[in-house]
Each structure stands twice: as C-alpha cells, then as structure tokens.
C-alpha cells in the first residue's frame, strides 16, 4: 500500500493527476481482461469438462488450487513481458512521425473483418464458431506482429491494427487474405487509411480511423480498399493500385475516392 501511495504521488507530480488516472484506468481494464481470460480458460478446459464427467467437489477444489498456484508464475511472466512490450513501444514512438499536435501521430490504420459473419454465426455450433474466430485471431496476431505492425484490438470478427509504413499495412492485409485462401469459413476483406491518428490510452481514434472503419464495409471478400493518400505513401512498393470509384460512406458528407490494392 505504501508503494502504491508513493507511485500515485510521484506519478501525479510528474504527469498530472488527470493523465495518471486515465493511465490507471487503462491498466485496470487490461488486468480485468487478463483475469477474465484466465477464468475462461480454466472453465473451458478444466472445470467445464470435469463437471460434465461428474467430478466430485473435492477434485474441482484441488484443480482450482493448482490453477491458483500457477498464478505466481504468470505474474512473473507478465512482469518480464511488460518490459519487453515497453521497449517495443518506445522504439515505435521514436520512429513515428508526429502529427499536428502532441496527441496525434501520422500512421496507417487498418481493419480486416470477416464477410457474412453474422449469418455464419447463426448457422454454426458454438464450438465450431469459436474455432473459426480463434483461427482468425491467432493468424491475424502472428501476421501483424511479424510484419512490424501493432495489433490494437480484436473486435469479434474484426481486427484493427496500425503501422508506421503504408506499404507494410498493405502487406499485412494481403497476407491475411492469402493465408485464408480456400477456407470457406473465413472470407476476409480489408480497408486502410493513412493520416493523423489520435493516440490515447493505447488506442487510436479520429477521422482517419473512422474513415477506414467505414471503408471496410464497402469491400467484398478478398478485396483491400484504400485511400489515394495511402497509395501515394506506398509508392514504389511491389503493389498495384487501381481506381475503385467514389463511395458514399456513413457519416461523410461527400463521396470518398477509393482504390484497390493487389501485389504487383
């Protein structure tokens, strides 16, 4: 408790009380998600199957104790992982082109989602649906990280990511399309936009993010739609951009010019 008090006092003096509280809310929500994920894994892999087999309460209690004991190892692992992620985040921000204010950075934001997921989810068993989502999420994570992007969040059937380089964002989206080629259950589509993003609490906001989120709704399976601004920043890469006309997007007063992207 003493250490926490000192942290709060020192953090408030260094960063200000408002920014510190916003940061702590982010920490709290992240830890809450980790806790929920841990409990979910325990129930899905241990308690649920054990109850289905008619396991005794004593056996369930013993399994719970073993799971709780493993938390000590998890805490140490999280500490080490946090230091590694801090180093990556610091390096990314050092190479980020600053926007027009201290709250913005010039980056490329991308969305890739699954076409027809609502219909698919209503016709599949829960177990099969979970497998589809987990396959999509796992591959999205691996592809984005391996190609220098940052996975911002997974939103059910959609992934949001950012990159410092426009060409890298195109490569990420196209790689996901290629990975799921021939998989009838996973029909990805994507959208990218480059510009000033509002950076806040480990997330990204603003008109450019909204633009990319609306553009993805216009794409068909295995189609990557981008703005002309992105195409200009990815000039020289092994990519081919073709006009895709103008589209009226929800929340935008005038038609937006779009382009498609394929490997050159």
Each residue's pLDDT tens digit, 149-174: 999 998 878 999 999 999 999 999 99
Residue with tokens 């005038």: 254
Same domain for 193 and 108: yes
For residue 198, give every residue at least 6 positions away whose Cβ sits within 8 Å of its Cβ, in sequence order, or none.
103, 104, 204, 205, 206, 209
**Share above pLDDT 70 across residues of the chain, in percent, rounded to a whole number:** 98
Integer angstrom CA distances of residue 186 from 76, 128, 133, 190, 202: 36, 12, 9, 13, 28
Same domain for 81 and 168: no
Say if CB 165 and CB 108 are below 8 A apart.
yes
CA angle 185, 245, 263 (to 5 degrees): 55
Same domain for 240 and 138: yes
Same domain for 180 and 64: no
Same domain for 150 and 126: yes
Judge whether residue 16 has pLDDT over 90. no
Given pLDDT bands bounded at 50, 70 and 90, which one contains residue 1? low
Same domain for 249 and 151: yes
Same domain for 140 and 57: no
How many other CB atoms are there within 10 angstroms of residue 251's CB atom?
A: 9
Which one of 36, 61, 94 terminates a domain?
Answer: 94
- What residues pair up with 106 in beta bridges, in sequence order? 97, 196
Say if CB 189 and CB 216 are below 8 A apart.
yes
Alpha carbons within 13 angstroms on the beta-carbon side of residue 15 total 13
Given pLDDT bands bounded at 50, 70 and 90, which one contains residue 178? very high
Burial (Cβ within 10 Å: 0-12, 13-18, ≥19) of residue 242: exposed
* Domains: count for the chain: 2
How many other CB atoms are there within 10 angstroms of residue 42's CB atom?
A: 16
Say if CB 188 and CB 224 are below 8 A apart.
no
Which one of 34, 59, 94 terminates a domain?
Answer: 94
- What residues pair up with 154 in beta bridges, in sequence order? 159
CA angle 150, 187, 118 (to 5 degrees): 95
Same domain for 184 and 152: yes
From CA 214, how far away is CA 216, in angstroms rounded?
6
Which one of 94, 123, 144 terminates a domain?
Answer: 94
Supply the CATH number for residue 192's domain.
3.30.70.1230
Residue 208 sits in which domain range?
A: 98-263
Same domain for 135 and 57: no
Q: What is the mean pLDDT of residues 70-75?
A: 78
- pLDDT tens readout for residues 111-131: 999 887 777 777 778 888 888
What was the pLDDT predicted at 40? 83
Same domain for 219 and 149: yes
Say if CB 124 and CB 132 are below 8 A apart.
yes
Same domain for 39 and 74: yes
Q: What is the mean pLDDT of residues 2-21?
A: 77
Same domain for 103 and 80: no
- pLDDT tens readout for residues 184-242: 778 899 999 999 999 988 899 999 999 999 999 999 999 999 999 999 988 777 899 99
Judge whether residue 43 has pLDDT over 70. yes
Integer angstrom CA distances of residue 74 from 71, 151, 188, 245: 5, 22, 34, 51
């Amino acid at each position: 408790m003493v250490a926490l008090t000192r942290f709060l006092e020192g953090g408030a003096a260094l960063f200000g009380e408002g920014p510190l509280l916003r940061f702590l809310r982010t920490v709290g929500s992240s830890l809450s998600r980790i806790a929920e994920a841990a409990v979910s894994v325990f129930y899905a892999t241990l308690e649920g199957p054990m109850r289905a087999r008619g396991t005794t309460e004593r056996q369930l209690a013993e399994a719970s104790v073993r799971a709780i004991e493993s938390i000590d190892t998890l805490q140490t692992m999280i500490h080490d992982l946090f230091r590694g992620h801090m180093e990556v985040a610091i390096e990314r921000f050092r190479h980020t082109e600053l926007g027009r204010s201290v709250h913005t950075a010039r980056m490329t934001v991308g969305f890739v989602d699954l076409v027809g997921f609502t219909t698919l989810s209503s016709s599949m068993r829960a177990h099969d649906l979970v497998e589809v989502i987990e396959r999509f999420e796992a591959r999205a994570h691996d592809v984005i990280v391996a190609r220098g992007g940052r996975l911002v969040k997974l939103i059910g059937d959609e992934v949001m990511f950012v990159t410092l380089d426009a060409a890298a964002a195109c490569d990420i989206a196209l790689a996901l399309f290629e990975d799921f080629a021939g998989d009838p259950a996973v029909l990805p589509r994507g959208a990218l936009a480059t510009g000033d993003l509002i950076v806040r609490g480990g997330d990204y906001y603003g008109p450019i993010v909204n633009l990319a989120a609306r553009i993805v709704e216009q794409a068909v399976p295995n189609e990557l739609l981008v703005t002309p601004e992105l195409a200009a920043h990815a000039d020289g890469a092994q990519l081919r951009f073709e006009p895709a006309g103008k589209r009226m997007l929800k929340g935008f007063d005038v038609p937006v010019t779009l382009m498609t992207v394929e490997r050159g």
